[in-house]
Structure 1
Amino acid sequence: MDEERPLTNGSTSGLPADRWLQAYYDRFAGFNTITPNICLADLFADGDTKLLIADMGIEWGKQMQLRVYKGTALLSEHTLVDLPLAIVPFYMNLPGPRTPAIAVASGSSIYVYRNMRPFYKYTLPALKVADAEVEAWTGVLQEGADLNVFRDLLVNVLANGESLSAKSEHFLTTSTIQDAEAFVRQHAESPLRRQTVLTTLSTMKKSMHEEDALTCIVLGTENRDIYILEPDAFTVLTSMTVPAVPVMMDITGLFDVDYRILVACRDGCIYSLKRGQKSAKLCLELHSQAVGLCARPSLGCVYVGCMDHSLRCYSTQGKGPNKYAQLWSIQLNHSIVALQSVTIKSLGLELVAVCCQDANIYLYRERDVVDVVETGDPVTAIRYGRFGREDNALVYVTRSGALTVKILRRNQTFEPLGGVVNNAATNLAAGNKFVIPKKTKLFVDQTMREREIAPTMHRVFQQDFQRMKLIAARQYVETMQKAGAIQVPAGRERSVAEVKLTARVQGLGPEFALIITLSCAEDAFPPPCDLLIAYSYDSSIYRLDRPYRCVPYLAPGVATSVSVRVTCISELLVSDSIKVIVMTHGNTDPLVTALISMPVAQSV
């Protein structure tokens, strides 16, 4: 047996020895595939996980196959009848051993294999044909019908925003009147059908998180629908819609309990779907197409790789404006081609593998690069998980069609590489890192001093803290005494009803909507009239479209809202407060004031 030598990262000089053992490499595999077309599954419940790859063929649509690998040996090959979109393993509630079935999405159908034999074919529900299209075909079949008028009717259906059936679309492609007449005669009796196609496929556990628990199939269609299928009868459990065509999904939770589906669509946005919702909620506007989506529920974040060479991380915790706030963004030197989650349970690590066009796979822990795997050729498909009897296997296919399997070495640690990677790829991580100095003698002496007199330091801190609170309370009382009373000018001796003010800020920036709501008691008499709302702010940071507003009348017991657009014009990531002052016309003493703390504007 040849002696195994540690691999290095080639051109990425200065990196430590490769943490991955190369278990298998086949440069002549000839695969043409993408990440959704690779999966790992224990097909026969024997503890030996198999590798399944759906090959799209050498010439995109010719010699399409589903190949199954057991270890490094090709176990079987299965011919596919249509171009594969994605494959996923799922568990059905059938008698016998708990073995997974394989779902292969192709065109408008899902082909299900059980024990690697064809088991079931599910076809998407047919869509409703437009009434105007049906009437047009009914009229053209009558004697003396004008085909030019018929063509205009079909074009009008498209102009009204409705879709045509495949039969009508084929008719519109005819170039001559003879071809059109021949087409109508040949297909006159064929029914009108509208059939959508699949765009993405995933799975969701139904009621338990166990590995072999019952699994639902989740699919997205070109018609902007999301379906969740029951795994045994293949009936639609629930259907939802998104504003654009879905291209990828990331799912967390259980169908019977609670779940969340993040959907990346072709409009460059990411939408969220929860249990009980029928339409999606906008989460993120990326301003660039997403090429990878990886949610990390345990970390409370989601990673998104975009076509503008950026890797972004967004929070999935919190409520309101803080929900899906951007945590950080990294601008890479090369375009991202794929993202894959890497969970190393033995080390308690959750990493993200980012495959770039420079023929490297970068492993990120949060925003730090902890490892680089050189592939020799850009990666087109990648999958991480249990393969054979190894828990930490990395499988990837390169642009040349080569298949590589790497296994993580035992007792490996992942630490940030820092400047080692920055030398190989300039500006790999955006932003300056903190430079932590070494421990000096002064630092050690100060640490020892703090340990020795810790009680005294704590007591002094508490005294100063209480003194500061006392000063703040005195200033607050003094301010309330000065601004609380309402001075009524001479000649206008009348009482003014108490006005209540609430404010809220909407938006992530740089444009915000500041909404002021005024109200008074139901028994207020006379009701407040001729109110003026003024804003005091730093003009070097913010710009308001209207610095003041008038409220002619405030109805008792009815809230009145006034909105003003606030634009952050500062290029620095700073925020300030905006003071809202409400007063009556001709009176300089305010009825009520509020100090609004504005959030930091997110960069565009």
Structure 2
Amino acid sequence: MGAQHSGRRLWSQRRFSAGAGAQPFSDTPLQSLPCGLISFFPESALPNIPALALASGPSLFIYRNRRPYFKFTLPKVPANPLEEDVWQSIRAAPTHESGQIDPQCVDDAWKLLREIRESSTGELTNRTLLFLSMDDEISRIEFVQKVKDQPLTREPAITCIAAIKRHSKDEESMDCLIVGSEEKIVYILSPPNFTIVEKFQLSSPIVFVSARGLFQGNYTIVVVCRDGSLYRLKENACERLVQLEVQPLGLLVFEQSAIVACMNHCIYCYDYQGYRRFSILMPAAIACIEAFAHPSKRYVGYLVALENRHVRIYNGNILVSCILADGIVKAVRFGTFAREESCLVMLMTSGGLLVKRLKRSTELVSGDSVLRPPKEQNIPIPVPKKTKIFMEQSNRERDQATDLYRLFQHGLTKLRIQALKGYMQLESRSADPSGSSASLPVKLDANLLGLGPLYRLELRLENIGTEPLSNLAVHLRHSSRDIVPRCRGFQLPLLVPGLAYQLETDLHTAARDDSGGSFPNLAVPAPKLTVVVHGRGPGGPLLCAEVDLGAMACTHPPT
């Protein structure tokens, strides 16, 4: 978005149309499909009017004052030496009296070029690729006869474009253009003549490029390649940060980190040492990402547009806000629109344009303030160091130390006696703590989860024998009406030796008052529940476990 209120459209019919409001004033045909459009300031003179840079094929079209101003074409890339030798042999091949080239030479050259393409020794020119796509021998001969005397060059192609400030951070200061190409080269162009001032060679064609800083000072350029490599370009140095596992969808560069959106519905944040800071999983597929910067409020974040019509605003890994659009958003931009300083422009897949304005009184919350503790935590509580209760307790412990020690020993002895009584009860009923039985080689564990009145009962059964067991069932018995299980019984499957089977159900308990109402009552003893394992035919229980809502005990089969 620029400072002027104008509309611009990129048509799939390879035409560039520009206009102010609803009135078009320029319509230019393009040789190939456009791949990028950006506004920038080509000079530092005031008043400085922004220009448009349109990338299409190997050329960069510059528009100023609503008219075509300049055309820059990427330099030719030398062809593959092996490919050059094949075409040189075609030029030197003998010809007939009619001037037609020998068909055998054409067929041999076609086979050699196909071997070069399959061996992946280098990129091939468009001429060679078109020649290899021909299956008819007559068409090959006619094509070779037509192009053999032309110089063999590889036509470059622009894949992405970005801008970086040259020597000042002012909004209207001069910009330098950053161009990524299909030939794995990143160019930095300096206006007004758009000369190449810097060039970086990478390992794969460039997909996304983003920059931050000043070109004549400290700057950082982050590039994502088609093979998933993330590079950092800085002052004649090229550093590979990380290898992405998923193909990228977008790239943003901030002061200390880079944000990458990928096709697996995730947002990744990497610092400039290659370490991942965080990752965010989105609820839907990501359509695009864009920076969200408000200079007057000193707020920096980023926007994420999803396929479910949601546009999310993040500050780091903190979700600040979420906007529901009228349709699926394919492009989003935040900045100055007409006279409004803070506008969010969203382009829909249906062709609609949605503009939302941010109120000037809106308070933006940063991610740091969300992660900080509340302000009330820093307010001290006025508690005196020594209170009257503390002094009374100190005097009581000093004066009645013998009585307090005897009371402690009495409680400890009573606890030991209760534990021994419980153990003797288990021994008298021929039960071990594990809940296993000699007649039925099944181990039963019952665990009660919860604080009441809602509980969850988890049962774990394990066949500790050598033969599989079948025709078994589990039943829950309770003597109190206050226990309400959601499921009173289970039909057990075939119990295979060595495997553990886990069952669970929910319980509800309540004590009743004299009026018939139901309410939790801590004074009433907790009811008990008995878990019984029995066969499906006639007969008594084979294994029991008694569960107390507060303690659990397992018993052997009744004798």
Question: Does the TM-score normalized on the shorter chain lie above 0.5?
Answer: yes
Unaligned runs of 5+ in 1: 1-39, 43-48, 317-322, 418-432, 454-604
Q: Any residues of structure 2 matched to 1:441-590 within 5 Å, and which? A: 447-449=381-383
Check if 1:292 corresponds to 2:254. no
Cα distance in 1 between the residues matched to 2:259 and 2:230: 12
Contact 2:14 2:34 survives alignment (8 Å) = no
| Structure 1 residue 354, shift from structure 2 partner | 0.6
Cα distance in 2 between the residues matched to 1:451 and 1:90: 66
| Structure 1 residue 97, shift from structure 2 partner | 4.3
- Change in Cα spacing, 1:451 to 1:93, as seen in structure 2 (3 Å) is farther
- Change in Cα spacing, 1:301 to 1:377, as seen in structure 2 (3 Å) is same
- SS in structure 2 opposite 1:447? coil
Check if 1:85 corresponds to 2:35. yes
Check if 1:177 corresponds to 2:132. no
Cα distance in 2 between the residues matched to 1:437 and 1:251: 36
* Amino acid across the alignment from 1:197: A
- Change in Cα spacing, 1:255 to 1:347, as seen in structure 2 (3 Å) is closer
Check if 1:306 corresponds to 2:247. no
Cα distance in 2 between the residues matched to 1:221 and 1:127: 11
Q: Any residues of structure 2 matched to 1:359-374 within 5 Å, and which? A: 359-374=309-324
Aligned residues: 374
Contact 1:360 1:376 survives alignment (8 Å) = no
Tell me whether 390-399 or 150-159 shows the greater mean CA deviation.
150-159
Contact 1:157 1:163 survives alignment (8 Å) = no
* Amino acid across the alignment from 2:271: S
Cα distance in 2 between the residues matched to 1:248 and 1:160: 24
300, 303, 308: which one aligns with 1:358: 308
- After superposition, what is the alpha-carbon deviation per residue over 1:375-402, rounded to whole angstroms, capped at 9, x for unaligned? 1211111111111111101111111111
Contact 2:17 2:24 survives alignment (8 Å) = no
Cα distance in 2 between the residues matched to 1:452 and 1:254: 62
Contact 2:308 2:328 survives alignment (8 Å) = yes
Cα distance in 2 between the residues matched to 1:285 and 1:382: 27
Match of 1:213 in 2: 173
Match of 1:276 in 2: 236
Cα distance in 2 between the residues matched to 1:445 and 1:403: 49
185, 194, 203: which one aligns with 1:225: 185
Cα distance in 2 between the residues matched to 1:107 and 1:404: 30
- After superposition, what is the alpha-carbon deviation per residue over 1:405-437, rounded to whole angstroms, capped at 9, x for unaligned? 1111231134599xxxxxxxxxxxxxxx99989
Match of 1:151 in 2: 110
Match of 2:60 in 1: 110
- SS in structure 2 opposite 1:135? helix
- After superposition, what is the alpha-carbon deviation per residue over 1:221-263, rounded to whole angstroms, capped at 9, x for unaligned? 0111000012122221010012222111110111111211011
Match of 2:540 in 1: none
| Structure 1 residue 132, shift from structure 2 partner | 2.8
Cα distance in 2 between the residues matched to 1:236 and 1:119: 18
| Structure 1 residue 63, shift from structure 2 partner | 5.8
Contact 1:314 1:324 survives alignment (8 Å) = yes
Cα distance in 1 between the residues matched to 2:6 and 2:379: 59
Cα distance in 2 between the residues matched to 1:434 and 1:205: 33
347, 352, 363: which one aligns with 1:397: 347
Check if 1:260 corresponds to 2:211. no
Check if 1:120 corresponds to 2:70. yes
Contact 2:44 2:172 survives alignment (8 Å) = no
Cα distance in 2 between the residues matched to 1:95 and 1:349: 29
- After superposition, what is the alpha-carbon deviation per residue over 1:456-502, rounded to whole angstroms, capped at 9, x for unaligned? xxxxxxxxxxxxxxxxxxxxxxxxxxxxxxxxxxxxxxxxxxxxxxx
Length-normalised TM-score, structure 1: 0.58
Unaligned runs of 5+ in 2: 95-101, 388-559
Match of 1:129 in 2: 79
Contact 2:287 2:305 survives alignment (8 Å) = yes
- Change in Cα spacing, 1:435 to 1:101, as seen in structure 2 (3 Å) is closer
Match of 2:282 in 1: 332
Contact 1:369 1:416 survives alignment (8 Å) = no
* Amino acid across the alignment from 1:150: A
- Change in Cα spacing, 1:183 to 1:256, as seen in structure 2 (3 Å) is same
Cα distance in 2 between the residues matched to 1:295 and 1:94: 25
| Structure 1 residue 206, shift from structure 2 partner | 1.3
Tell me whether 238-247 or 92-101 shows the greater mean CA deviation.
92-101
- After superposition, what is the alpha-carbon deviation per residue over 1:551-577, rounded to whole angstroms, capped at 9, x for unaligned? xxxxxxxxxxxxxxxxxxxxxxxxxxx
Match of 2:146 in 1: 186
Contact 1:290 1:304 survives alignment (8 Å) = yes
- After superposition, what is the alpha-carbon deviation per residue over 1:533-558, rounded to whole angstroms, capped at 9, x for unaligned? xxxxxxxxxxxxxxxxxxxxxxxxxx
200, 204, 207: which one aligns with 2:160: 200
Contact 1:271 1:282 survives alignment (8 Å) = yes
- Change in Cα spacing, 1:394 to 1:452, as seen in structure 2 (3 Å) is farther
- SS in structure 2 opposite 1:127? coil
Contact 1:336 1:354 survives alignment (8 Å) = yes
| Structure 1 residue 357, shift from structure 2 partner | 0.7
Contact 1:305 1:339 survives alignment (8 Å) = yes
Cα distance in 1 between the residues matched to 2:379 and 2:332: 52
Cα distance in 2 between the residues matched to 1:452 and 1:212: 66
- After superposition, what is the alpha-carbon deviation per residue over 1:317-354, rounded to whole angstroms, capped at 9, x for unaligned? xxxxxx34222221111011111111123333212111
Structure with larger Rg? 2
Cα distance in 2 between the residues matched to 1:388 and 1:202: 23
- Change in Cα spacing, 1:447 to 1:231, as seen in structure 2 (3 Å) is same
Q: CA RMSD in A?
A: 2.9
| Structure 1 residue 214, shift from structure 2 partner | 1.9
| Structure 1 residue 101, shift from structure 2 partner | 1.9
Length-normalised TM-score, structure 2: 0.62
- Change in Cα spacing, 1:182 to 1:75, as seen in structure 2 (3 Å) is closer
Once the two structures are aligned, what percentage of the paired residues are identical? 25
| Structure 1 residue 445, shift from structure 2 partner | 10
- SS in structure 2 opposite 1:162? coil
- After superposition, what is the alpha-carbon deviation per residue over 1:493-531, rounded to whole angstroms, capped at 9, x for unaligned? xxxxxxxxxxxxxxxxxxxxxxxxxxxxxxxxxxxxxxx
- Change in Cα spacing, 1:368 to 1:131, as seen in structure 2 (3 Å) is closer
- SS in structure 1 opposite 2:148? coil
* Amino acid across the alignment from 1:344: H
- Change in Cα spacing, 1:306 to 1:134, as seen in structure 2 (3 Å) is closer
- After superposition, what is the alpha-carbon deviation per residue over 1:108-159, rounded to whole angstroms, capped at 9, x for unaligned? 1101111121111111110112333233223223223522211122123332
- After superposition, what is the alpha-carbon deviation per residue over 1:80-106, rounded to whole angstroms, capped at 9, x for unaligned? 413111112222248784222211000
Cα distance in 1 between the residues matched to 2:314 and 2:379: 37
- After superposition, what is the alpha-carbon deviation per residue over 1:345-377, rounded to whole angstroms, capped at 9, x for unaligned? 333321211100100101112222222111121
